[in-house]
């Protein structure tokens, strides 16, 4: 075996923690090499292991990690992982591993879990949502040798490392979680300074189910980790363990994960009878829609994509006067770059309304309009995104179903999807 262990540091457009990752690898004697998303993917076979770094790949368009997960380079990463080579995804890299199906490792890389918006909860009260940064304790709750990145730790031991993310909350079906626990795939969990695992903030900084901070695949050679071990020497054991795993010729586990993921239906949209709908279009170019269209084009789909914001506003009383008051606030759209429009009705186009299952933006807007702006008569606000998919060819329904199965428009674990007629 070569004395030099070469690690590819995978960067996508928007990645921003490559320097810290290079330094962490070098501290433990690894030889890291920067590898861009658009380099020949087959060259990855020359490396001994891989780290997909943090940041904002493709500016987190559509949702964090999904555009990068569908990038052609990830096909090669999957092949390398199958051969037993270690793959570590940190923060945005973890989101990419989740959206690519490399973790938790269901058959055919089906998406089985989601990383969604943070929710800081204490005493059953939501203290805050969205982006948060702090230092957190990560306790190893799997056997030390179970994962390629924990060989130099002991079960029950914890490390203190920084985290900084907006969509770091692991959610998954309870029956899948139970299987992953028994399979020792729930590698790191958040704990306090005494090693006690509590589901409340600040011990659990983002509301993750089971206090999950990192999970691995059944073989133990792929790990998705939301905090940042590369930003502190406290996290060096993650990288030294990776080195030890490679030096021992990639001893993958013989664990398997058998789980039949539920079939998620796309429902037909029906608005609340007490609600009015606002469909918001952009005056300026929508880069998010362009990124989704480009990603689908790389997959061979001849489609056009347009995106609209959707508000469903349920009211008591005179709807017209309430909507005028809402409009004056500018809270639901920015009239300098957006305008109230209509849902697409063009030929060969299907429209899908995607909503977060926990619509915290809608709740926040309701609170702001009711309390800050003192607009009365609003009972509920729901926010969603309408994806308008135009198929430039034949086999309309077949192509639509294939696109939905890429999950580029929604993750069925964290979103609801409706077809809008």
Q: What pLDDT, on a 0 to 100 scale, did the predictor assign at position 2?
A: 55
The 10 Å Cβ neighbour count of residue 193 is: 9
Residue 128, pLDDT score? 86
pLDDT at site 263? 82
Q: Which residues pair with 350 in a beta bridge?
A: 389
Q: Which fold has domain 6-247?
A: Rossmann fold (3.40.50)
> DSSP for 262-285?
PPPPPEEP---TTEEEEEEEESS-
CA distance 170 to 117: 9
Q: Residue 363: which of 204, 126, 165 has the closest Cα?
A: 126
| Nearest residue to 234 via CA among 157, 298, 311 | 157
pLDDT of the residue at 1: 47
Please give the Cα distance from 12 to 45 (Å, whole number).
Answer: 18
Active site residues: 91, 228, 230
d(CA 51, CA 22): 10
Q: What are residue 312's DSSP bridge partners?
A: 277, 382
Q: Contact at 8 Å (CB) between 253 and 220?
A: yes
Partner residues linked to 310 by β-bridges: 279, 384
| β-sheet bridge partners, residue 87 | 50, 222
Closest CA to 137 of 157, 116, 120: 157
Q: What is the DSSP letter of 30?
A: -
Give CA–CA dist 157/137, Å, rounded.
10
Asked if residue 322 has a cis previous peptide bond (ω within 30° of 0), the answer is no
Query: Where does CATH 3.40.50.880 sit in the chain?
Result: 6-247
Instruction: Give the residue from 142, 234, 145 showing the smallest Cα distance to 188.
Output: 142
DSSP 261: P
- Kind of pairing, strands 31-36 and 6-11? parallel
Structural tokens at position 204: 């659990």
CA distance 100 to 94: 10
Q: What is the model's pTM?
A: 0.93
- Give the pair of three-digit tokens for residue 125: 């009260």
Run means of pLDDT, 10 residues per run, the chain, 421 residues: 86 94 98 96 97 91 92 96 97 97 95 94 86 96 96 97 96 96 97 95 96 98 98 97 96 92 88 93 94 94 96 95 96 96 89 94 94 96 97 92 95 95 82
- Pair type for strands 186-191 and 169-171: unpaired
393 contacts 302 by C-beta, under 8 angstroms: yes
- How many other CB atoms are found less than 10 A from the CB of residue 416? 17
């Amino acid at each position: 075996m070569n004395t030099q262990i070469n690690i590819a540091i995978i960067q996508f457009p928007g990645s921003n923690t490559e320097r810290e990752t290079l330094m962490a690898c070098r501290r433990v004697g690894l030889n890291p090499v920067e590898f861009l998303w658009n380099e020949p993917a087959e060259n990855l076979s020359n490396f001994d292991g891989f780290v997909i770094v943090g940041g904002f790949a493709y500016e987190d368009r559509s949702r964090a990690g999904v555009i990068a997960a569908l990038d052609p380079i990830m096909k090669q990463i999957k092949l390398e992982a199958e051969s037993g080579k270690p793959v570590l995804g940190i923060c945005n890299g973890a989101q990419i591993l989740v959206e690519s199906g490399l973790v938790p490792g269901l058959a055919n890389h089906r998406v089985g879990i989601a990383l969604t918006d943070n929710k800081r909860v204490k005493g059953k009260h939501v203290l805050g949502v969205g982006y948060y940064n702090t230092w957190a304790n990560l306790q190893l709750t799997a056997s030390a040798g179970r994962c390629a990145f924990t060989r130099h730790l002991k079960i029950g031991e914890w490390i203190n490392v920084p985290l900084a993310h907006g969509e770091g909350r692991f959610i998954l079906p309870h029956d899948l979680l139970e299987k992953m626990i028994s399979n020792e795939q729930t590698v790191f969990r958040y704990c306090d300074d005494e090693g006690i695992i509590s589901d409340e903030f600040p011990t659990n900084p983002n509301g993750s189910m089971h206090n999950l901070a990192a999970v691995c695949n059944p073989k133990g050679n792929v790990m998705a980790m939301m905090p940042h071990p590369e930003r502190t020497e406290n996290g060096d054991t993650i990288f030294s363990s990776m080195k030890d795993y490679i030096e021992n010729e990639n001893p993958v586990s013989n664990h398997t994960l058998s789980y039949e993921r539920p079939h998620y239906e796309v429902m037909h949209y029906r608005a609340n009878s007490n609600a009015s709908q606002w469909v918001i279009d952009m005056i300026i170019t929508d880069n998010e829609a362009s990124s989704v269209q480009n990603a689908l084009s790389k997959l061979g789909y001849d489609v056009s994509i347009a995106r609209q914001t959707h508000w469903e506003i349920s009211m008591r009383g005179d709807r017209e006067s309430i909507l005028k008051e809402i409009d004056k606030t500018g809270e639901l759209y920015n009239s300098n770059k957006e305008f109230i429009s209509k849902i697409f009705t063009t030929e060969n186009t299907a429209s899908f309304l995607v909503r977060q299952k926990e619509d915290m933006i809608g709740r926040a807007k309701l609170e702001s309009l009711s309390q800050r702006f003192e607009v009365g008569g609003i009972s509920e606000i729901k926010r969603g995104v309408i994806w308008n998919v135009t198929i430039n060819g034949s086999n309309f329904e077949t192509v639509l179903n294939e696109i939905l199965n890429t999950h580029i428009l929604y993750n069925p674990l964290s979103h609801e999807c409706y077809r809008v007629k």
